[in-house]
Structure 1
């Protein structure tokens, strides 16, 4: 009997074997398959232990195809953080009425909170935290493509609000956006990272968003209260 045991299939990272001629996929389909496979591999094996070969196998494609689209794991992870089909959409802000801008700001904060607290995003955040000591580039990619993007999403509204209300006290739009995100999401985010399966209902998220707006933008408290009551 051979002393070398056969590799056992991994249900988390191995794609099911296909028979016959492989189907034709578009470039977007291939990228999606790779990123979804990479997410499974990173979560199951850890970033450091994961290999390009394992990712290719999980995606059901050759390493040659994988390398043609992504040169290494870091590029895959960066694309995975940016791969956010559920990331809130940034609608153009055409409103000039401060109350309407506040309503859009409130909507964005709520959607951003729901995104950050989603099970998929929580898993990616845990991965970054667990691997950042050995792979600091993960934290850099995560911050650049995730955190910075979320803050900019909120800062767009604050810019419009400051234009519509020159009397409002927003000396630093970026830092105000950071404060709003922290007040609306921070404590909830910490808790979901520590407790598996914890889900916050929409009404609780909305109450926290309104509290954050009243704390960070006290001069707009009446507008926030009016929008909440509708």
Structure 2
């Protein structure tokens, strides 16, 4: 009897240990060590210019754009939709000087004859800013750390995702979403967890100032 109780105890301890490991692995997904006690680990990534549609959809899009003398040079297509009227709706991200415009998606609407009907969003031809950052991607971890550690909601969300962060250089309109204002483009780092979109920060790549912080919680 004593041997049986001892065996049951050992099995129970092993089960609890495995269960704890599984819980830890579920909570700390893609976990990276802190560089020190005041910053997160941040790695720079580069935006992919590859269109995110099938080859068949891309063939249709190339036909529509060529028919209407529209270039895809500064665009990345991420979705093609058709509706019950036979209209085509092509959703794109815009790029300038090789950098993504985080606030400027556009949608091209073509009728069932393949002719351009209208464009939703503003086409950006030129931007008068310097695209060389003064702030490194790695240094954004300090601001990110301050935002997250001072926000209990953000910290809770983060611990279920990742403490590995990625920074992408791009262009951001700080007046986006504000009616009747001119565009005010700045060079920024967009920093977010690996394989997640929040919590994230938008940081001015010239002067290290915080432009936006979003913790992923909607109250």
Tell me which interval the TM-score lies in, with the shorter structure as reference length: under 0.3
Q: Larger Cα Rg: Structure 1 or Structure 2?
A: 2
* Between structures 1 and 2, the one with greater helix share: 1
* Between structures 1 and 2, the one with greater strand share: 2
Give TM-score, length-normalised by structure 1: 0.20
